[in-house]
């Protein structure tokens, strides 16, 4: 007896967003990245299309990072030079995009000027051909200055600029509109605020295909199931024709997984946990895989071995 | 919630006069105004203003003048299928045929047209004997229409079952039967057809100061029973707000502070 596969029909799909701009599009990237466009729940290729594969952005910082040695020893001597660091991520580790984090701007730290930050951006833009994601230091007032300078310095490059939040989105959205960039809209694990923020940004005049949503993520063991449920609701909203929830999703999984103690404690502290090198890779790659399973389009990652593992996972998930 | 704007109907004096005088302005005014109010479709009904032999030409004219100013898809509302077919030929976007009851010969004509012109169909829960009071009989008619539509290959999202609401001032007992019919129509077949009502009927001939309240209250009740769409006053802002709010409270859409604005956005 033949079995008829029951297929779900969806009213709509996730919006498509293009990142980066080549020279004929007003930028200097050698290639662009397109994400989203999914018309099914993740990887149910028999029900709908996933025209664009998920991508990995690798994190580069403007100052040397305080990451676990399990990661830093794989990079060698690049941390003093963000351009060199970015180039290594692309050439050796296969990063699809570079995520440039401007921690050096932090008023509590080096307090670098917006001009210094813009200089770093230009160096990284010159070193690699992939599209860039740029995020400030996390100090709202300072980021409003820094990101305006970044938007101007990268005018026409269609950078993905982070982050717009419910109580601070106007300056970033305006800068993105003027200089032709895309923005990350971040909400604190709250689907209602996620939707509301998209509405607010869109009301300012930024089109929906210039927004990527970051519903916030947690590392494995620290609430990733809750993250999963929020991302799932966003995806079901998109497929159910909720235009204000239909943007592709970014997850900064490298940052979150590496905040977990399991990814950092030394072998001597917890000998029964096994080798730190393995733990660090697994914590980041499994956190990333969970995000992939629920339809994340852009993963921001740190550990190059974890990146390679997740790329393999993406290949398998995308092979029909 | 899908809103069919009801206002372009020859029963209204301005539209009736316009149809007789071939004056496009009132139709075009209401097309634009209903679109601004939140309508997703525009119902076109010549009403008795036009003699039978001129109906086909009247529907052609209505479709053309409305499409000149408005991008919304149309609902061709008539018991005269030649007039509907004349209008369907001119529709730029997939339209809806309003309506057919559970009579085999009528269903044959209407579903054949629907497949030919890629149109949806409103199916009324009645037959030539009239509208039953009892929800069981209403549901039986609905299922006959569902089965026939399915036989013609009409997708269930293109079929709109109308349980037929009557004015509360003369037929109070019908409201509850309509709600029960909506519930059953949504549970008895999978995939279920869509549902629709002519909302304003519920308040026909009630005093003006309570018609809006009746419409708004019954809309909320009907949507929670399984109503997907209504032929209604798209320019009663409070009524459109009730539609949006009911959707949110039932969990059909995800809440955001600006949900009223989103409901009206296209």
Task: Express each pLDDT in A183-228 by its tens digit.
Answer: 999 999 999 999 999 999 999 999 999 999 999 999 999 999 999 9
In a domain, B95, yes or no: yes
pLDDT confidence of residue B265: 79
Nearest Cα residue in chain A from B265: A243
Report the complex ipTM: 0.82
pLDDT confidence of residue B266: 65
pLDDT confidence of residue A320: 75
In a domain, B242, yes or no: no
A237 contact residues in B (CB cutoff 8 A): 253-254
Mean pLDDT taken over chain A: 96
Give the integer Cα–Cα distance in Å for A104 and A119.
Answer: 12
Residues B65, B69, B75: CA angle, nearest 5 degrees: 65
In a domain, B250, yes or no: no
Mark yes or no for CB contact A196/B257 under 8 Å: yes
- What range defines the domain where residue B7 resides? 2-236
Mean pLDDT taken over chain B: 96
Does the pLDDT value for residue A1 go beyond 80?
no
Smallest CA–CA distance, residue A195 to chain B, in Å, is: 6
Which residues are CB-contacts of A247 (< 8 A; sequence separation ≥ 6)? A14, A15, A17, A36, A185, A198, A208, A211, A212, A213, A238
Question: Which CATH number do you get for residue B211?
Answer: 3.20.20.20
Task: Express each pLDDT in A19-77 by its tens digit.
Answer: 999 999 999 999 999 999 999 999 999 999 999 999 999 999 999 999 999 999 999 99
pLDDT confidence of residue A120: 98
Task: Express each pLDDT in B238-254 by its tens digit.
Answer: 999 999 999 999 999 99
Mean pLDDT of the B150-161 span: 97
> Total domain count for chain B?
1
Domains of chain A: 16-318 (3.20.20.20)
Give the integer Cα–Cα distance in Å for B63 and B41.
Answer: 13
H or E stretch including A56? Answer: strand A55-61
Nearest Cα residue in chain B from A241: B253
Determine contact: B249 vs chain A, CB below 8 A: no
Confidence of residue A134 (pLDDT cuts 50, 70, 90): very high
Mark yes or no for CB contact A244/B256 under 8 Å: yes
pLDDT confidence of residue B155: 96
In a domain, B232, yes or no: yes
- Percent of chain A whose predicted confidence (pLDDT) is above 70: 100
pLDDT confidence of residue A302: 98
pLDDT confidence of residue A2: 82
Does the pLDDT value for residue B101 go beyond 80?
yes
In a domain, B261, yes or no: no
In a domain, B243, yes or no: no
Mark yes or no for CB contact B256/A192 under 8 Å: yes
DSSP alpha helices (H): ranges in B118-207? 135-152, 174-188
pLDDT confidence of residue A233: 94
Confidence of residue A160 (pLDDT cuts 50, 70, 90): very high
In a domain, B46, yes or no: yes
Q: Which of A79-83, A264-268, B193-197 has the lowest mean pLDDT?
A: A264-268
In a domain, B23, yes or no: yes
H or E stretch including A185? Answer: strand A182-186
């Amino acid at each position: 007896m033949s079995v008829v596969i029951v297929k779900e029909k969806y009213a709509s799909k996730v919006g498509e967003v293009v990142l980066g701009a080549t020279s004929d599009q007003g930028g200097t990237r050698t290639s662009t990245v397109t994400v989203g466009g999914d018309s099914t729940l993740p990887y149910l290729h028999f029900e709908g299309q996933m025209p664009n594969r998920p991508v990995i952005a690798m994190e580069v910082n403007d100052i040397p990072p305080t990451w676990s040695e399990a990661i830093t020893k794989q990079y060698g001597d690049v941390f003093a030079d963000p351009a060199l660091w970015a180039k290594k991520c692309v050439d050796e580790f296969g990063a699809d995009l570079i995520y440039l984090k401007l921690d050096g701007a932090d008023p509590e730290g080096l307090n670098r000027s917006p001009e210094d930050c813009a200089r770093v951006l230009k160096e990284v833009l010159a070193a690699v051909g992939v599209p860039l994601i740029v995020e400030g230091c996390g100090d709202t007032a300072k980021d409003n200055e820094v990101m305006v300078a970044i938007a101007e310095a990268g005018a026409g490059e269609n950078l993905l600029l982070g982050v717009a939040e419910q109580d601070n989105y106007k300056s970033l959205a305006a800068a993105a509109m003027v200089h032709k960039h895309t923005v990350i809209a971040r909400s604190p694990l709250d689907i209602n605020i996620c939707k509301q923020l998209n509405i607010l940004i869109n009301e300012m005049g930024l089109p929906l295909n210039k927004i990527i949503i970051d519903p916030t993520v947690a590392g494995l063991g620290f609430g990733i199931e809750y993250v999963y449920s929020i991302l799932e609701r966003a995806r079901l909203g998109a497929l159910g024709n909720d235009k204000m929830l239909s943007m592709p999703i970014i997850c900064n999984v490298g940052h979150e997984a590496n905040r977990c103690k399991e990814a950092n404690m030394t072998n001597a502290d917890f000998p029964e946990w096994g080798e730190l090198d393995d733990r660090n890779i697994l914590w980041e790659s499994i956190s990333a895989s969970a995000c992939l399973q629920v339809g994340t389009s852009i993963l921001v990652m740190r550990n190059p071995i974890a990146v390679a593992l997740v790329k393999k996972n993406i290949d398998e998930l995308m092979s029909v | 919630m899908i809103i069919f704007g009801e206002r372009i109907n020859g029963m209204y004096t301005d539209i009736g006069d316009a149809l007789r005088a071939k004056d496009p302005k009132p139709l075009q005014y209401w097309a634009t105004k209903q679109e601004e109010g939140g309508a997703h479709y525009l119902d076109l009904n010549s009403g008795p203003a036009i003699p039978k032999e001129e109906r086909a030409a009247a529907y052609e004219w209505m479709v053309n003048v409305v499409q000149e100013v408005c991008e919304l898809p149309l609902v061709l509302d008539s018991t005269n299928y030649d007039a509907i077919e004349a209008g369907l030929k001119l529709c730029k976007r997939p339209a809806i045929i309003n309506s057919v009851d559970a009579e085999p010969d009528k269903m044959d004509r209407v579903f054949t047209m629907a497949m030919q012109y890629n149109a949806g169909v409103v199916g009324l829960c009645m037959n030539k004997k009239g509208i039953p009071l009892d929800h069981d009989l209403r549901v039986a008619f609905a299922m006959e229409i569902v089965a026939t539509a399915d036989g013609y290959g009409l997708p269930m999202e293109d079929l709109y079952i109308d349980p037929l609401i009557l004015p509360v001032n003369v037929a109070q007992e019908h409201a509850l039967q309509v709600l029960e019919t909506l519930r059953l129509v949504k549970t008895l077949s999978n995939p279920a057809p869509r549902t629709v009502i002519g909302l304003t009927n519920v308040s026909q001939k009630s005093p003006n100061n309570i018609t809006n309240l009746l419409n708004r209250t019954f809309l909320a009740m009907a949507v929670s029973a399984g109503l997907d769409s209504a032929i209604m006053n798209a320019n009663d802002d409070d009524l459109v707000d009730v539609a949006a709010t009911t959707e949110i409270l039932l969990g059909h859409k995800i809440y955001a502070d600006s949900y009223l604005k989103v409901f009206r956005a296209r």
